Amino acid sequence: MSDDVDPRLSADTRTLHLGRAPDRHLGAVNTPVYRASTMVFPTLDDLEASAAGRYDGIGYGLHGLPTVTDFQAAAASLEGGHRAYAVPSGLTATTLPLLAFLKAGDRVLITDSVYGPTRRFAMNTLVRYGVDVAFYDPLIGGRIESLMTPATRVVFAESPGSLSFDVQDVPAIAAVARRHGATLILDNSWATPLGFRSFDHGVDVSVHAATKYIGGHSDVLSGLIICNEASSAAVHRTWTDMGVTASSDDCFLALRGLRTLPIRLARHQASAMKIATWLTGRPEVAEVLYPALPGARGHALWKRDFRLASGLFTLVLKPGPGRDRIAAMLDGMRLFSMGWSWGGYESLVIPVDLDKLRTVSRFDAPGPCLRLAIGLDDPDDLIADLAAGFERLGGRG
């Protein structure tokens, strides 16, 4: 395998070489798609070793086909984790670790800016299973100590949040969680393993919607759970018992996306920065929520902890436009499409309510909010599309 890739090489170079072993696959540059369910064994000893989990080879196609394991190994190495587990979606990645570490009577603390479906899972499923679910202000930092109890087993963070882009003080939260023996899970989809190395900041489990920037082409559903050594066994047990591994076909596409992730992220960030800066000068815009932008909320923490940014952010409009004017703006966009995703090559825009899902903290936006996913289009063309949209917003187009 490519485990011998020099860790001193840049992340850009390592993304090209990790998870590749041409000598194992007839010289193929990329690990081919392996499709198999049943494995056969040459001896009874091997069969019994497989049942006991001691077999060196693949025991069953569900957990261990080379396309899957190569993707897992590459992702874990990039983020500095011990092991990674590929799952069928980003939502599976956020929810399976919660099941791995929580049982009836336990307490979990979840950031109030969490991805909506993760919140829904916590309230619809964890609560039904007897878990005490509590939410916390994403900007609480080390003050989360006041919310810890002897029953707190998990703290769930998401930084930045995918709607309001609150940047959390992950190292401070990690220090508190560690003192109380709680597992810290972080949704790291926005930054990817290249932008935020979770385990350098005290995280135990880093989860990713690999559907987004890692896949990068809007043609694959995939999730990743990356663990440190202490958390790996519990996640592996649940991952195995629930049978939720990703398919070889999806892992092939995710690995393909991983190869170009550095160059795509650089373009996403450069274009997003140019567009965000332009937006700050528009009379219709009250605020741009993009942590990489100097002067934006969370910029100091982003600059301290992150290596790069992605292309997802929210703009807050000034008061005034109603739904009809927002519809006129969005329905006429030529390059921005409307869709419930981000991280692909295409540019997307959707209206969002930053306060709707929160329960313990407030985000008082003065006007309507639009979340932009800046794709790989020429940023000047995107600016022109937005400028025309603002004309329609004001009833002038």
Looking at the predicted structure, is the pLDDT value of residue 54 above 90?
Answer: no
**pTM, rounded to two decimals:** 0.95
| For range 254-272, the mean pLDDT | 97
What is the tens place of the pLDDT at every residue in 186-207? Answer: 999 999 999 999 999 999 999 9
| Phi, psi of 158, rounded to the nearest 5 degrees | -145, 115
Domains and their CATH numbers in the chain = 11-259 (3.40.640.10), 261-393 (3.90.1150.10)
Minimum mean pLDDT among 2-16, 268-282, 333-347: which range?
2-16
Identify the pLDDT of residue 55.
Answer: 84
What's the average model confidence in pLDDT over 241-264? 96
Average pLDDT, integer, range 224-232: 98
Give the mean pLDDT of the chain: 95
Can you list the positions of beta strands (E) in 269-368? Answer: 285-289, 312-317, 348-352
Over residues 10-14, the mean pLDDT reads 90
pLDDT at 365 (0 to 100):
94
Sheet with 223-227: strands ordered across: 83-87, 223-227, 205-208, 183-187, 152-158, 107-111, 132-136
Q: Give the Cα-Cα-Cα angle 91, 94, 99 (nearest 5 degrees).
A: 115
Dump pLDDT digits (tens) for 155-198. Answer: 999 999 989 999 999 999 999 999 999 999 999 999 999 999 99
According to the model, what pLDDT value does residue 124 have? 97
Give the model's pLDDT for residue 63: 83
As a whole number of angstroms, the distance between CA 74 and CA 64 comes to 14
Q: Which of 222, 161, 168, 188 is nearest to 81 (CA)?
A: 188
pLDDT at 85 over 60: yes
Tell me: pLDDT of 4 over 80. Answer: no
1 pLDDT higher than 50: no
β-pairing, 369-373 vs 348-352, is antiparallel
Would the pLDDT of 355 be above 90? no
> Across the strands, what pairs with 133?
108
Model confidence at 2: pLDDT above 60: no
